[in-house]
């Protein structure tokens, strides 16, 4: 297959995700740490009361499971899907819905089934941005070949923090739709331009490798120092000629690390997808190619906004509602497009560096990040009830991390309980 046909295959795949405005939905997924409430240590995949055992108990409820050999690796149903990250982080992806109320109802129902499995083991589904106590060197990889391949590749070719990303980090990701290429360009530009803002207001990583982290936006720093070829912000996000094609060109130039072939994952290391596509340009391979990159904003058949740390209720739904309205309310989207009209990759990198030291107090143009976000929240009409808790937090010049810190200093165990899905289910 020649180069142009490879580009066309990816472009056509992305284009197939276009939707009419009437059919726009929003979806989200969250990465939890499974924590032993007594020790606050992270629960491993194997062993008595391990994550593997819990997955098998959930499977018994009637959900479809996926296995690698004898090891259960995920579960799926109409309204959600569960997958396990490298150090047994428990990721739940919730089916996309048109309204926040539908999303919230589904979230309550799904978590109401999952949480009791862990409750009876005295385990919490912790909602923080980094491991609350355990260190990554003490956490084994789950028995999934692809994660060993990723670790092998990152050790040789990547930056300083890829294993922290794999084993240590927990995020909240929001999926938004686009109607055509022009709509994609506008949303992709804005979502990248505002990345430092979203990292800052949803900063929720107080502990790093067992110690208090003295700066801000830990996950942002980890991603910036993971693998510059596939993480952070893609410089072309700010190009005037941004297009599906430009994104496809980036994908073809990206190292593949591994591919799935003949029923198993095979290490391919630095072989770029341009070469991989000579043998396989199927939709499955395109999906893999689009999924094995981890930029702040990722494109598939929808746009993934990936900056927020995982945060507890009500801030998790504030994050989803905020992002939904930023990109589906044309007045807000136009406001943001104008606000960041002169943003460049270089300016954004400088802004990100400042936020590491100053967080939401970082000045952009003539206002602090917190002030800009309050102005945006004031424009939200449809889902204001969901973003109000975030508004109240920002008016206090605080982030979820600040609340966690105050709780932690009083009682570390209570802090992690307060920042867990278990608390949400008990109260709802």
Tell me what pLDDT residue 365 has.
Answer: 98
User: What residues contact residue 124 under an 8 Å CB cut-off, 6+ apart?
Assistant: 34, 35, 37, 118, 416, 417, 420, 421, 422
pLDDT at residue 122 in the model: 98
Query: Angle at which helices 330-339 and 369-379 pack, to 10 degrees?
Result: 160
C-alpha Rg value of the chain to the nearest Å = 21
Q: How far apart are CA 276 and CA 4, in angstroms?
A: 15
Cβ-contact 304, 173 below 8 angstroms: yes
User: Per-residue pLDDT averaged across 211-218, rounded?
Assistant: 98
Task: Please state the rounded mean pLDDT for residues 377-405.
Answer: 97
| pLDDT per position as a tens digit, 269-298 | 999 999 999 999 999 999 999 999 999 999
> What's the mean pLDDT in 55-73?
97
For 211-223, what is the mean pLDDT?
98
pLDDT score recorded for residue 107: 98
Give 323-357 pLDDT, tens digit per residue.
Answer: 999 999 999 999 999 999 999 999 999 999 999 99
Buried b (16+ CB within 10 A) or exposed e, 277-306: beeebeeebbebbbebbbbbbbbebbbbbb
Residue 167 is part of a domain; what is its CATH number? 3.30.590.20
Q: Which pLDDT score is estimated for 305?
A: 98
Domain of 357 in residue numbering reads as: 3-427
Predicted confidence (pLDDT) per residue in 396-427, tens digit: 999 999 999 999 999 999 999 999 999 999 99
Provide the mean pLDDT of the chain: 98
Confidence of residue 66 (pLDDT cuts 50, 70, 90): very high
Total domains present in the chain: 1
């Amino acid at each position: 297959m020649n180069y142009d046909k490879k580009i066309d295959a990816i472009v056509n795949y992305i284009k197939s995700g276009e939707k009419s405005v009437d059919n726009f939905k929003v979806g989200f997924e969250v990465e939890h740490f499974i924590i032993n409430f007594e020790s606050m240590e992270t629960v491993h995949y194997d062993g008595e009361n391990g994550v593997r055992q819990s997955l098998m108990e959930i499977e018994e409820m009637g959900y479809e499971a996926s296995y690698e050999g004898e090891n259960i690796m995920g579960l799926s149903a109409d309204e959600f899907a569960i997958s396990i990250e490298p150090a047994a982080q428990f990721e739940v992806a919730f089916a996309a819905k048109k309204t926040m109320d539908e999303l919230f109802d589904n979230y309550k129902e799904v978590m109401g089934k999952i949480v009791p499995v862990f409750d009876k083991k005295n385990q919490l589904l912790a909602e923080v941005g980094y491991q609350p106590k355990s260190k990554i060197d003490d956490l084994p990889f789950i028995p999934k070949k692809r994660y060993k391949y990723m670790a092998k590749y990152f050790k040789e070719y990547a930056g300083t923090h890829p294993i922290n990303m794999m084993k240590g980090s927990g995020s909240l990701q929001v999926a938004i739709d686009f109607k055509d290429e022009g709509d994609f360009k506008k949303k992709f530009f804005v979502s990248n331009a505002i990345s430092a803002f979203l990292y800052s207001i949803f900063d929720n990583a107080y502990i790093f490798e067992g110690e208090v982290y003295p700066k801000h936006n830990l996950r942002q720093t980890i991603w910036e120092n993971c693998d510059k070829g596939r993480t952070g912000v893609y410089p072309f996000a700010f190009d005037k000629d941004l297009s599906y094609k430009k994104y496809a060109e980036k994908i073809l130039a990206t190292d593949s690390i591994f591919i799935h072939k003949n029923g198993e994952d095979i290490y391919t290391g630095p072989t770029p997808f341009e070469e991989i596509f000579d043998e396989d340009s199927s939709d499955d391979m395109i999906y893999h190619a689009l999924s094995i990159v981890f930029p702040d904003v990722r494109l598939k058949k929808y746009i993934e906004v990936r900056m927020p740390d995982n945060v507890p209720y009500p801030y998790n739904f504030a994050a989803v509602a905020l992002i939904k309205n930023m990109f589906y309310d044309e007045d807000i989207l136009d406001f943001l497009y104008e606000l960041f009209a002169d943003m460049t990759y270089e300016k954004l990198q400088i802004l990100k560096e400042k936020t590491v030291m100053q967080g939401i107090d970082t000045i952009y143009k003539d206002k602090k990040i917190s002030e800009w976000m309050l102005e945006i929240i004031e424009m939200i009409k449809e889902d204001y009830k969901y973003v109000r808790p975030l508004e109240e937090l920002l008016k206090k010049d605080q982030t979820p991390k600040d609340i966690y810190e105050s709780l932690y200093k009083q009682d570390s165990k209570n802090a992690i309980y307060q920042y867990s899905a278990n608390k949400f289910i008990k109260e709802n």
